[in-house]
Amino acid sequence: MRKFVLGALVFAFLSTLSLNGFAKDNATKGKAPKKLTKEQIAKLRDVFDNYGCSGCHMYMHKDSTSGPAVAVIAALAKAKPKKWVISWIMDPKKHYNEPDVKALIHQYVQYMPNNGVNKKDAEKLYEYLMAVADGLVK
Ligand code: HEC
């Protein structure tokens, strides 16, 4: 019960922040979903799996104790400026003190580690998360 109340609070909090993110982010705001072939999506998914992202961010489960589900982080990423997401993927530690990140850390009792992602792959991971958010990944 306590966990549920906390979850609801975090959700309400994140929703507000997401709206702020939308207002600030004109780059991705209202952008039509990018068209990707099945092969392109499979390649992007390989990058996500090869870095071990899917070890913590589950496909099937809504959530896990090690991290938010893929669909959840995709929605979070879509609500934020691309620059922020790339920076997060390459070096999450830089953002641990931001209030919305703190709320997630509190909820999952876990810090997302630095996974040694380079800029080129961070761009691919971003593209993958946008594809998930746009419902292109079945
Ligand atoms: C060891 C577990 C773990 C691994 C591996 C991991 N993450 Fe995370 N991730 C988390 C946790 C936990 C959070 C919630 C924030 C926090 O507690 O640090 C998170 C949050 C996120 C978010 C949402 C950030 C926000 O606040 O909007 C994105 C996007 C993300 N992860 C992408 C990735 C990608 C891409 C990879 C692979 C390069 C990855 N994660 C690997 C645990 C992990």
Note the pLDDT tens digit of each residue in 97-115.
Answer: 999 999 999 999 999 999 9
Q: If you average pLDDT over every residue of the chain, what do you get? A: 83
**pLDDT value, residue 10:** 45
Q: What is the pTM of this model?
A: 0.81
Question: In the structure, what pLDDT confidence band is assigned to residue 64 with cuts at 50, 70 and 90?
Answer: low
Is position 58 within any domain?
A: yes
Split into its structural domains, the chain has a count of 1
Looking at ligand 1, which residue's alpha carbon is closest to its atom 34? 53
Domain that holds residue 72: 2-29+38-133
Ligand 1 within 6 A of CB of 113: yes
Higher pLDDT, 71 or 17: 71
Query: For ligand 1, is residue 115 a contact (CB within 6 Å)?
Result: yes
Is a pLDDT exceeding 80 seen at residue 84? yes
- Closest-CA residue, ligand 1 atom 31, reads 73
Which CATH number is 14's domain given? 1.10.760.10
Give the Cα separation of 67 and 50 in Å (integer).
17
According to the model, what pLDDT value does residue 44 have?
A: 97
Please indicate, yes or no, if residue 25 is contained in any of the structural domains.
Answer: yes
Pocket flag, ligand 1, residue 54 (CB < 6 Å): no
**Dist. CA 114–CA 135, nearest whole Å:** 27
Judged on CB neighbours under 10 Å (0-12, 13-18, 19+), 127 is middle
Q: Say yes or no to pLDDT of 11 above 90.
A: no
Residue of minimum CA distance from atom 7 in ligand 1: 112
Establish if 102 belongs to a structural domain: yes
The predicted structure's pLDDT at residue 130: 97
Q: Which atom of ligand 1 is nearest to the CA of 52?
A: 5
41: pLDDT strictly greater than 90: yes
Instruction: Identify whether 138 is part of a domain.
Output: no
Lowest-confidence pick of 29-38, 41-50, 100-109: 29-38
